[in-house]
Amino acid sequence: MRFTFSILFAFLFSASFSQQKISGFFTPNVSKQLEAEKQFDGYLNAKDQDTWLKFLSARPHHVGSAQGKANAEYMANLFRQWGYETELATYNVLFPTPKFRQLELLGPNPYKAKLQETALKEDRTSGQLSEQLPTYNAFSADGDVTAELVFVNWGVPADYEVLDKMGISVKGKIVIAKYGGSWRGIKPKVAAEHGAIGCLIYSDPHEDGYFQGDVYPVGSYRPEQSVQRGSVMDMPVYPGDPTTPFVGSTPDAKRLKREEITTIMKIPVLPISYEDALPLLKSLKGPVVPEAWRGSLPITYHAGPSETKVHLKLEFNWDFKPIYNVIAKLKGSEFPDQWVIRGNHHDGWVNGASDPLSGMVAEMDEARAIGELAKKGMVPKRTVVFCAWDGEEPSLLGSTEWVEDHAEELKKKAVMYLNSDGNSRGFIGFGGSHALEKYVNEVANDVIDPQTGVSVSERRYARALASADASSISRLYGNRYMKISALGAGSDYSPFFQHLGIPSGNVGFGGEGSGGEYHSIYDSYDHFIRFKDPGLQYGVALAKTAGRMMLRMANADVLPFDYSILTNTINGYFSEIKSLIENSRSSVEMQNKLIADKVFELAADPKEKMKLPVAKPTVPFLDFSSVENALAQLRKTTDALKNAVSKADKLDAETLSSLNQILYQAEQKLLDEKGLPRRPWYRHQIYAPGYYTGYGVKTLPGLREGIEENNWTETKERIEVLSKTLLKFDSVLQEGLSILQK
Amino acid sequence: MRFTFSILFAFLFSASFSQQKISGFFTPNVSKQLEAEKQFDGYLNAKDQDTWLKFLSARPHHVGSAQGKANAEYMANLFRQWGYETELATYNVLFPTPKFRQLELLGPNPYKAKLQETALKEDRTSGQLSEQLPTYNAFSADGDVTAELVFVNWGVPADYEVLDKMGISVKGKIVIAKYGGSWRGIKPKVAAEHGAIGCLIYSDPHEDGYFQGDVYPVGSYRPEQSVQRGSVMDMPVYPGDPTTPFVGSTPDAKRLKREEITTIMKIPVLPISYEDALPLLKSLKGPVVPEAWRGSLPITYHAGPSETKVHLKLEFNWDFKPIYNVIAKLKGSEFPDQWVIRGNHHDGWVNGASDPLSGMVAEMDEARAIGELAKKGMVPKRTVVFCAWDGEEPSLLGSTEWVEDHAEELKKKAVMYLNSDGNSRGFIGFGGSHALEKYVNEVANDVIDPQTGVSVSERRYARALASADASSISRLYGNRYMKISALGAGSDYSPFFQHLGIPSGNVGFGGEGSGGEYHSIYDSYDHFIRFKDPGLQYGVALAKTAGRMMLRMANADVLPFDYSILTNTINGYFSEIKSLIENSRSSVEMQNKLIADKVFELAADPKEKMKLPVAKPTVPFLDFSSVENALAQLRKTTDALKNAVSKADKLDAETLSSLNQILYQAEQKLLDEKGLPRRPWYRHQIYAPGYYTGYGVKTLPGLREGIEENNWTETKERIEVLSKTLLKFDSVLQEGLSILQK
């Protein structure tokens, strides 16, 4: 009986295999690919991920640490065991660490900040004090400043408009900003632009502490003395070693002197705990801040200035440190010069179990399983490259220097870069090139969620519905398609994607692991295994997901880039831009009418003495027709290309090779060689990190930021650049189309 | 030169008088009325208001206090001096006061609640401990209960649905609810319905403490040991003396025994400070509550139950106390049997400077000025009645007993009841019968705001625009018309309006005086004069506003009720009701689909173990045609009536008298003699306090509450009652129309 059933099941299984379609695979090759994926899943092992996670997080492993180097070597050895040609790609990079830190409130009720996180008996690695990096912001300026304190909310430009209305200037002051609302590096940058001489950044318990849930070690959330470390380098200008923009930090690289570097903060910056922030915030006088600015400390939040002064003194060791990227390659059986690249960083601010190691161990599991497939003769057609980056935390050091160092080779060979950066229990998330959207959806349909037994796609859909509001639920119902998000900055895809135009993605699970450990000494194995992904079930789910993505991209006949989806997406962004300018125009007009009618004057509380708004220049009408024409052309080409690809179920090797090269290099045409205004390193014309938001993506960044900053001359220039870029992109896709129409 | 200018100015002024129209006045009578109003304004005096405020708030003056009686006599004497026929209308009413109060957290970290507000040297009356009512909720049950504690957010029905999903029951528990989100009496009522045996209500600093601003005495906001007193009688069933529903508490009234009364809370209830709440909330275990439930205490808010038990013991003196209403009449020169009534209460929970005296002193100023006009021969045509109510705080005792006692006379004579209940710096607000809307707008156009020099209407418009969001600003721009709000319960208009159907309004200024003193010992003269209305400028503005309303209603030729506006408004409410049922139907359908698709099961975090929603019965389609037909008929009648009234610029006295009687009694036809389901005392079919919201108004309450509670049989019955009521109302207005068409 058992035997008979097995045969029946094998039959049914292969029958279902043969019915399935996978983008990029000719019909005869689908079942082989599905069989490879099935075997791949069989090699994944949560216990091994757990062993690696425990080893790699055993000691602090930041840039330049002994454990950081040991971890790189440990991983390199494993990759070699799994059959990969593996190297440690090493660069010397600028990495400042604290030499002296002092923060005190002066005056009659003085307070000396502790600036120290507490070892906990419930967390076995939290007491490794001698190896821990102190709490600090990397790439702060040295400084010794004494001044009144002003509270600036998140510290983004809009907050300074509010302060201005209240008649409060930060000129010559030290500002204190909450973490959140933007990438942290924006806060001191904007503060310095407004004349501040120092900047403190604290974790308010509202976003990151007891308001969210019980604090560690009772629950997972940030306790009162815990501090979020992190970089404040001006990465929206360029990431990587600040002494070598555009080129790898090789021994012979020409380096900028420290004083020539524009991306190091101009003022001293220090992150502090909410315990240390409380006496400082209590010392603030002046008006009560708007409700949206207030946090969860048991005080009335005032804007300041403080009655008494604050003294902040910071000195750093401005040393060059070696970084160790692990680069492991498995040569492709058919197209060895087409590289499918996977990466996650391995450096942490301290023990870094969640960030980054939980993603790293999934990637290792994928590499091991693909190695095992290869040993059984199922070598991927294209070369797969597994990378473990060092120095991501300070400023994407490892990935950026490696990409800059190998730029020419990558432009020729890189098919895709797939990133992860940590992982936890929950729901699939994916951001990246929209040409990947269909392929991502297909993979998400084929991976089973470990908690519910349905596909990770189905579970994501269920959550979107269950949390939808009444107004959007009908639109969402029945629509299982996952719209992927656009990528700003924030992890190692940035140099591949926004500097070189290599189709890229960032994948991970999340939403159910509870937080609070971010960039602190509590991002430990003990914390992770209690709160983030007990048993590493989602480590395995990530490996299944990213592994399928790697295998499908490596084995595809025609590479599964669907540029008609990218065109749709760009059209959507362009509609947003047009609405943005129209809304901006009507809101300026209305605001100016209200000002002329004295509405704000009459509505104001005379006791509050707020500054009244002043009239703004009207928003001009712009000629968008060149972009509209280019998009119309692109729509035709990408629809035709999609149609032609869908009809091709057999092509000779030569045609495939030239077609695929066009497909994977096409997105490089979306770059403008001169880059974006004020930041030439960022070349992609569709996606960029926001100049004033950091992590937050700006799509069609040239236009969007021009409009947001009311810079009409620049916006007009960017319209021309965008339309030309789109036409360049169109013409390379037309080449692809002509190959298929031959 | 000066003389010439004066003549010119006088000419221009009287010219502008003669051009103005006032609803209800025949053209020849307008300038006389405007002249009376101008003289009226001249008699108003902020200094006198200040003197009265200081006297009346000098000592605690709650029901039964020596100062309460003294205040009534003081006011009665003044009214007499001003020429009013004045009486003290006295009733004996049930008024429980605390005999014993104890609250403690048991267990290893016990805490004994202080239950005591602190005297402050900065507040001169805060130390009158021996005369202050202790902190308590009037009409709580006696009780001695010990049980675990559960946190129920606001304690409204929706909160118990959330607790149920978390698997938490309050059966046999003591609940702790935050003040806010509903009238306080709803909290213990709903808690008892769910099986709780005790209820604590605390002021969270998020809504009422340091989150809002600096606490008293630095700023105005509630300090940590301050408590909001207040009634928890089930007033949405009926207000007034609970022993005498429907009738005045006269010596010969038949009284219910205490055990027969349904409106006294079934469980012990105690209000506490956030200082006393903190250790109790800290003791809670169980799940972390949803974000919207969390306050601003420096803790993680859990639902409970608590690890250790809480002991609550309360005993009250269930005494009858005399209340003293001041009723001052000035007989009308032409229509002495048509009464225009003005009221504000005079009892406070403690010193009550803001609540209620700031409104009371404005009313006194109005009465004095009208008395002065009368002495000069400008006696109002109709009788004006100025009332100072006692016992509003415990349950609208004074007004309700007086109205019930004089119901027959009031139904015949009462033209309008105009209420206020405190006042502060800021913007005009008005709620009430929508037939008054046009008349209210005209008055608001004619009163000048003391801070800006424009009309209070213009200033309100400026604020509405300045605080509007982008989506509504175009709709608001240029629209200076003030839509008045509907009245629920919460002050002394309730018996006039919702029990008898007398056209009523509630007027006051606010929005710029900062709060935090509500129902505490800090509602003092010292607090008021610093934070609410320094110099009583807005006391004078209120007197100008309410005084004009009194004078115009008392002197009008044709009473300025515009029933076409009321019809519009009812139509709007009816559209809301239809949307409500349609939205409810589609949301139940969608929810049931999601349940059938296992969406909630798949979306749930398996670690959280939340209960899944269950399918609900579908919402039926109802026959609304009888209401639609009645409204169509009413639209015709009210439009014709409006048209006929606008054309009448001269009518003989007899026609006027019978027309006016129809106009002011018409709204009585909007009552249903049987009242609303489960609360026959509330008879108005358009406006009622919500059975589960308290202060919050429910318009078309029969339909709305039937639908909200999915009670379709009752909703159908209420459709019939509403359509019949509307037709009754229509036919009396038709009578009015026929008088004009004669």
pLDDT digits (tens, 9 = 90+) for A274-304: 999 999 999 999 999 999 999 999 999 999 9
Q: What is the pTM of this model?
A: 0.95
Summarize pLDDT for A497-541 with one digit per residue, the tens. 999 999 999 999 999 999 999 999 999 999 999 999 999 999 999
Q: Which CATH class is domain A95-318?
A: alpha beta
- Mean pLDDT, to the nearest integer, of A46-51? 98
Task: Write the DSSP string, B681-715.
Answer: T--BSSEEEETTTEEEEEESHHHHHHHHTT-HHHH
Summarize pLDDT for B96-110 with one digit per residue, the tens. 999 999 999 999 999
How far apart, in Å, do the first and last CA atoms of chain A sit?
55
Which residues in B lie closer than 8 A to residue A466 (C-beta atoms)?
594, 599-600, 603-604
B370 SS3 class: helix
Which CATH superfamily hosts domain B563-741? Transferrin receptor-like, dimerisation domain (1.20.930.40)
Per-residue pLDDT at A699: 96
Contact A684, A580 (CB under 8 A): no
Pick from A519, A527, A421, A515: which is nearest to A201 by CA? A519
Cβ burial, residue B448 (10 Å; 0-12/13-18/19+):
middle
Contact A547, A369 (CB under 8 A): yes
The answer to whether A474 contacts B298, with C-beta atoms less than 8 Å apart, is no
The answer to whether A210 contacts B299, with C-beta atoms less than 8 Å apart, is yes
Per-residue pLDDT at A609: 87
Same fold, B38-427+486-556 and B563-741: no
Per-residue pLDDT at A515: 94
**Interface A:B, Cβ pairs < 8 A:** 109
Summarize pLDDT for B399-454 with one digit per residue, the tens. 999 999 999 999 999 999 999 999 999 999 999 999 999 999 999 999 999 999 99
Measured between alpha carbons, how far is residue A650 from residues A25, A28, A645, A662 in Å?
9, 9, 10, 18
Which CATH superfamily hosts domain A23-92+321-452+485-555? Zn peptidases (3.40.630.10)
Report d(CA B359, CA B73) in Å as an integer.
18
Contact B345, B401 (CB under 8 A): no
Per-residue pLDDT at A8: 42
Pick from B123, B96, B361, B370: which is nearest to B226 by CA? B123
Higher per-residue pLDDT: A127 or B5: A127
- Mean pLDDT, to the nearest integer, of A59-77? 98
The answer to whether A451 contacts B606, with C-beta atoms less than 8 Å apart, is yes
Closest CA of chain A from B299, distance in Å:
6
Work out the number of other CB atoms within 10 angstroms of the CB of residue A15.
Answer: 10
The answer to whether A470 contacts B599, with C-beta atoms less than 8 Å apart, is no
Measured between alpha carbons, how far is residue B169 from residues A563, A694, B193, B212 in Å?
55, 46, 12, 32
Residue among A213, A462, A594 minimizing CB distance to B603:
A462
Structure tokens at A247: 């080129």
Is the bond into A217 cis (omega within 30 degrees of 0)? yes
Cβ burial, residue B95 (10 Å; 0-12/13-18/19+):
buried
Cβ burial, residue A636 (10 Å; 0-12/13-18/19+):
middle
Q: Rounded mean pLDDT of chain A?
A: 95
Nearest-Cα residue of chain B relative to residue A584: B470
Which residues in A lie closer than 8 A to residue B211 (C-beta atoms)?
294, 300
At B742, is the pLDDT very low, low, confident or very high (cuts 50, 70, 90)?
Answer: confident
Report d(CA A440, CA A651) in Å as an integer.
24
Residue among A298, A454, A470 minimizing CB distance to B602:
A454
Helix then strand then coil, in percent of chain B rounded to 5, is: 45, 20, 40
Summarize pLDDT for A180-220 with one digit per residue, the tens. 999 999 999 999 999 999 999 999 999 999 999 999 999 99
- Mean pLDDT, to the nearest integer, of B115-121? 98
How far apart, in Å, do the first and last CA atoms of chain B sit?
55
Q: Tokens 């209590």: give the residue.
A: A282
SS3 readout for A226-261 = CCCCEECCCCCCCCCCCCCCCCCCCCCCCCCCHHHC
- Alpha helices by DSSP H, listed for A597-624, are 599-603
Structure tokens at A202: 């604290």
Measured between alpha carbons, how far is residue A725 from residues A432, A701, A722 in Å?
19, 13, 5
Contact A358, A314 (CB under 8 A): no
Higher per-residue pLDDT: B649 or B572: B572
Q: Which of B593, B599, B600 to mutate to test the interface with A (most CBs of A within 10 A)?
A: B599
At A696, is the pLDDT very low, low, confident or very high (cuts 50, 70, 90)?
Answer: confident
pLDDT for B212 beyond 50: yes
Summarize pLDDT for B241-285 with one digit per residue, the tens. 999 999 999 999 999 999 999 999 999 999 999 999 999 999 999
Closest CA of chain B from A466, distance in Å:
6
Summarize pLDDT for B376-405 with one digit per residue, the tens. 999 999 999 999 999 999 999 999 999 999
At A426, is the pLDDT very low, low, confident or very high (cuts 50, 70, 90)?
Answer: very high
* Domain B38-427+486-556, CATH: 3.40.630.10
Report d(CA A153, CA B380) in Å as an integer.
58
Q: Is the dihedral of CA B159, B160, B164, B167 positive or negative?
A: positive
Task: Write the DSSP string, B631-667.
Answer: HHHHHHHHHHHHHHHHH-S---HHHHHHHHHHHHHGG
Summarize pLDDT for B559-605 with one digit per residue, the tens. 999 999 999 999 999 999 999 999 999 999 999 999 999 999 999 99
Report d(CA A93, CA A655) in Å as an integer.
43
The answer to whether B587 contacts A470, with C-beta atoms less than 8 Å apart, is yes
A99 phi and psi angles, rounded to 5 deg: -110, -35
Percent of residues, chain A, with pLDDT higher than 70: 98
pLDDT for B5 beyond 60: no
Longest pairwise C-alpha distance within chain B? 89
The residue ranges of every structural domain in chain A are: 23-92+321-452+485-555, 95-318, 563-741
Per-residue pLDDT at B13: 45
- Mean pLDDT, to the nearest integer, of A451-464? 98
Report d(CA A398, CA A492) in Å as an integer.
8
Summarize pLDDT for A544-565 with one digit per residue, the tens. 999 999 999 999 999 999 999 9
Summarize pLDDT for A627-676 with one digit per residue, the tens. 999 999 999 999 999 999 999 889 998 899 999 999 999 999 999 999 99
Measured between alpha carbons, how far is residue B359 from residues B63, B368, B386 in Å?
18, 14, 13
At A693, is the pLDDT very low, low, confident or very high (cuts 50, 70, 90)?
Answer: confident
Work out the number of other CB atoms within 10 angstroms of the CB of residue A720.
Answer: 13
Per-residue pLDDT at B482: 97
Report d(CA B407, CA B244) in Å as an integer.
14
At A13, is the pLDDT very low, low, confident or very high (cuts 50, 70, 90)?
Answer: very low
- Alpha helices by DSSP H, listed for B85-179, are 157-165
β-pairing verdict for A149-151 and A198-202: unpaired
B200 SS3 class: strand
Nearest-Cα residue of chain B relative to residue A511: B605
Per-residue pLDDT at B420: 98
Report d(CA B33, CA B501) in Å as an integer.
28
Angle at B531 between CA B528 and CA B533, to 5 degrees: 65
Tallying the residues shown for chain B, one arrives at 742
Show Cβ contacts of residue A616 under 8 Å, excluding neighbours closer than 6 positions: A588, A591, A592, A710
Per-residue pLDDT at A2: 40
B571 SS3 class: helix
pLDDT for B11 beyond 60: no
Longest pairwise C-alpha distance within chain A? 89
Per-residue pLDDT at B264: 97
- Mean pLDDT, to the nearest integer, of A455-459? 98
pLDDT for A352 beyond 70: yes
Q: What is the ipTM of this complex?
A: 0.94
B333 SS3 class: coil
Q: Rounded mean pLDDT of chain B?
A: 95
Summarize pLDDT for A565-608 with one digit per residue, the tens. 999 999 999 999 999 999 999 999 999 999 999 999 999 999 99
Work out the number of other CB atoms within 10 angstroms of the CB of residue A17.
Answer: 15
Which residues in A lie closer than 8 A to residue B221 (C-beta atoms)?
300
Report d(CA A361, CA A421) in Å as an integer.
11
The answer to whether B463 contacts A603, with C-beta atoms less than 8 Å apart, is yes
The answer to whether A300 contacts B214, with C-beta atoms less than 8 Å apart, is yes
Per-residue pLDDT at B357: 98
Per-residue pLDDT at A15: 44
Is the bond into B242 cis (omega within 30 degrees of 0)? no
Show Cβ contacts of residue A317 under 8 Å, excluding neighbours closer than 6 positions: A96, A97, A98, A99
Structure tokens at A581: 């300018």
The answer to whether B477 contacts A215, with C-beta atoms less than 8 Å apart, is no
Which residues in B lie closer than 8 A to residue A467 (C-beta atoms)?
603
The residues facing A427 across adjacent strands are A510
